[in-house]
Amino acid sequence: MSVYAIVQLGRVMDATRSIILVDNSLISLHKDLTDALLSETRYEKKYLIVQDRSLYEGFLTAKTEFERSLDQARTLGAYSGARDALNNAADFHLVYSSLFKEETESLKIGADYPASWYAAEKEQAVNAAIEELIKIRLISQQSIFDKVKKLSEAGTRARGIAMAVSAAMLLFGVLLAVWITRSITRPLKVMQRKTKDIAEGVFEADLKLPSPPEIGELAQAFNTMCSKLKEVDKMKSDFFALMSHELRTPLTAIKEGTNLFLEGKGGEVTEKQKRLLTIVSEESNRLIGLVNSVLDLSKLESGLLTFNFKMVDLSLLIARVVDEVGPLAEAKRITIGREVGDLPALSMDPERMLQVLRNLVSNALKFTPRGGTVNIVARCVEKVFVIVSVSDTGPGIPKEHAAAIFDKFRQVPGSGRLPGTGLGLAIVKHIIQIHGGTVWVESGTGNGSTFTFQLPV
């Protein structure tokens, strides 16, 4: 655009210079020439009447002036179409001055000569010369007109081209900006999605983002990070699985041994020893529970836990769990309410589903104070899914912790006073998800809490 503008400006300058230096000068020289020629004729006519030397000198001065202007015009005329007209004017002027010269020579020697014929010839030559000079003026004016017209056309063309180029550049700029922005935001969105996956524990390193190069490098680093995280996560799961497995055998031996002592199989036990043995038995039970939970969770996370799906009536599982926890509820004077509607048989692993129900109900009993209530409600919604909820009159769960308690080792601050591992709900979430369902909690501090899971029919 700049080069085009510079070229156009150069043309405008050339045309303007040509108008000022050639055409305009020719017009003013045309005036000088006409004035000089008319001056010549005035002096010549007067001289022929009075034959005064000074008039002849005046004629010569006007003639010199005419010739000087003619020379100047010829140098300019070389650049315009006025050259022929100038040559013709020069020829007619020569004829005129030759005729006058002949007349002056005849006068000098006092010879008779045809004065009227000379007058007529001179007039004809002068008129012809003036006509040629007029032509020069017309040619110059036409030339100025043509150049100005061309300038205006060039201006219009330049404006059109400038507007078209500007519009094209603007469009190009916008498209380029959109393309650059998208080439950056698209891979960033992919990374954002992948980061969410990582936060949820999916460490697959499959980012393929070759461009732009900076993002490509970032994606590479991201993939390396994912591989490392996956490695570390596997090491951690393997470690938990190994440790739990190794701990379970000796713990079971301790528990069995303690029970045998308690039953008196190892000889007479005093009351004090019984109390101590009971504590050992309870603690080893708790430890076995913890180890089992850790083992279950690491197997669930690594997908190694096998599920035996079959069609099961969920209401039977609920009844069984209520029976199991009956003595504990009675001890704490907690009322267990049960509203179980007509439920269709669902495909599930009954052992794992019992684990879910036991966990939710025993949590409810654990966190509900003496004399409280625990309610179990199960119903089928529009034959699409079954909803089971366990609500209690316990302390509730503050909103900000409601989502986090389903992560492993997460407990609501302050609830650590009650025995627990923070693994139960993580296992519940995994099992429900494997059954194609979802689990959530609704609660407010002090209002009790309601844990609900939903299973597809």
Distance (Å, rounded) from C-alpha 129 to C-alpha 362? 130
Size of the site for ligand ADP (CB under 6 A): 19
Q: Contact with ligand ADP (CB under 6 A): which of 69, 363, 389, 393?
A: 363
The set of residues, in sequence order, having a beta carbon less than 8 Å from that of 243 and lying 6+ positions away, is: 294
Q: Contact with ligand ADP (CB under 6 A): which of 376, 424, 432, 455?
A: 424
Piece of 55-63, 277-285, 299-307, 423-431 that binds ligand ADP (CB under 6 A): 423-431
Piece of 76-84, 93-101, 112-120, 407-415 that binds ligand ADP (CB under 6 A): 407-415
Considering the rule CB under 6 A, would residue 415 count as an interface residue with ligand ADP?
A: yes
Q: Contact with ligand ADP (CB under 6 A): which of 61, 421, 438, 452?
A: 421
**Cβ of residue 246: shortest distance to ligand ADP, in angstroms?**
22
**Cβ of residue 188: shortest distance to ligand ADP, in angstroms?**
35
- CB-neighbour burial class of residue 448 (10 A; exposed 0-12, middle 13-18, buried 19+): buried
The site string for ligand ADP over 436-455 (x = CB under 6 A, - otherwise) reads: -------------x------
Considering the rule CB under 6 A, would residue 422 count as an interface residue with ligand ADP?
A: yes
| 372-409 burial code (b ≥16 CB/10 A, e <16) | bbbbbbbebeeeebbbbbbbbbbbbbeeebbeebbebe
Hey, which residues does 379 pair with through a beta bridge? Answer: 387
**Cβ of residue 413: shortest distance to ligand ADP, in angstroms?**
8
| Closest to 365 (Cα-Cα) out of 288, 452, 449 | 449
Sheet holding 385-392, edge to edge: 335-340, 373-381, 385-392, 449-456, 438-443
Considering the rule CB under 6 A, would residue 375 count as an interface residue with ligand ADP?
A: no
* Contact predicate 390/451, CB 8 Å: yes
Considering the rule CB under 6 A, would residue 378 count as an interface residue with ligand ADP?
A: no
Of residues 257 and 398, the one with the C-beta less far from ligand ADP? 398
The DSSP-derived string for 367-382 is: HSPTT-EEEEEEEEET
Of residues 42 and 410, the one with the C-beta less far from ligand ADP? 410
* Contact predicate 299/241, CB 8 Å: yes
Q: Contact with ligand ADP (CB under 6 A): which of 48, 297, 348, 425?
A: 425
Q: Contact with ligand ADP (CB under 6 A): which of 66, 96, 367, 453?
A: 367
Residues that bind ligand ADP in the complex, under the rule CB under 6 A: 359, 363-364, 367, 392, 394-395, 397, 405, 411-412, 415, 420-425, 449
